[in-house]
Amino acid sequence: MFCPKCGAKNEDGAKFCGACGAPIPQPASAPAPDAQPAGAPAPGQVPGPVPGPVPGSAPTPSPIASGASQLGSLAGNLGGILPLARIIAGAVLVIAFFLPFYSIYGIFDMSPMQMTFGVDFYGSHIDGEIRNLYYLIPGIGTLIAAFVYKNKQGDIATLAAGVLGLIFLFITLEDGVSLAFGGWLYVLASIVCIAIGALQLIANRK
C-alpha cells in the first residue's frame, strides 16, 4: 500500500503514512453475497426434481371394494354355469318334497308329501296337514326365477327362495326329529340358491 501524498510504501491496512503522516484512504470492502434461502440450490448447481406423487399411481382400494370386485369377477366367470345351476337347485328342492326328509327317533323316515297327505305308521294312519305344501314354495319359486325372470328380480327371487327353504326346514325340527337324506339335499339346494342369487346380484350391480 503506497501513500497517495508522498508515495512512500506502507503496510497493508495502515491508516496513516509512516513517512509523512498523511492519512491513507482504506479500500471499500466487497458487499457480502446475498443469503440463499433454505433448500435453494447453490450458484451453478442444477436444481433437482421436486418430490411429488408417482405418475400413474392409483389409490389403494379398500378390502371391501376389492372383495366385491373379486366376487363380481367370479360371477362373471361362472356366467354360463349359474343359470343351469339355478335350474338344478330348483328341481332338487321340488324332488326333495317326495324323498325321506325327517327321521323320527331314527326308526321312521317321513317325507313332506307324507306330512301333507298322511301316512300309515305301524297299522295306524297319521293325518297330514295341507299347510306342509309350503316345502314346495322355494323350489317352484327358483324355477320360476330361472325361466321367467332374466334380470335382478330373478336373482332376488332365487336368493329369497334359498332363505325360505332353510327357514321352512328348521322351524319344524324338534326333539327326536333329525334330517334324513332328502332333508340334507334340501339344505344343500337352498344354500346353492342363496349363493347363486348373491353372486348374480354382485355381478349385475352396475
Q: Write down the pTM of the prediction.
A: 0.61
pLDDT band for 34, please (50, 70, 90 cuts): low
**Collapsed DSSP state (helix, strand, coil) of residue 77:** helix
Q: Which residues contact 79 (CB under 8 A, 6 or more apart)?
A: 203
C-alpha cell at 151: 334380470
Per-residue model confidence (pLDDT) at position 2: 76
Domain boundaries, the chain: 82-203
- The beta strand positions in 21-154, using DSSP E, are 102-104, 108-110, 119-121, 124-126
Query: pLDDT of 89-106, one tens digit each?
Result: 999 999 999 999 999 888
Please give the residue that has the higher pLDDT: either 37 or 170: 170
Per-residue model confidence (pLDDT) at position 33: 54
CA distance 88 to 82: 10
- 53: amino acid identity, one letter: P
C-alpha cell at 103: 327321521
CA distance 6 to 2: 8
The single-letter DSSP state of residue 46 is P
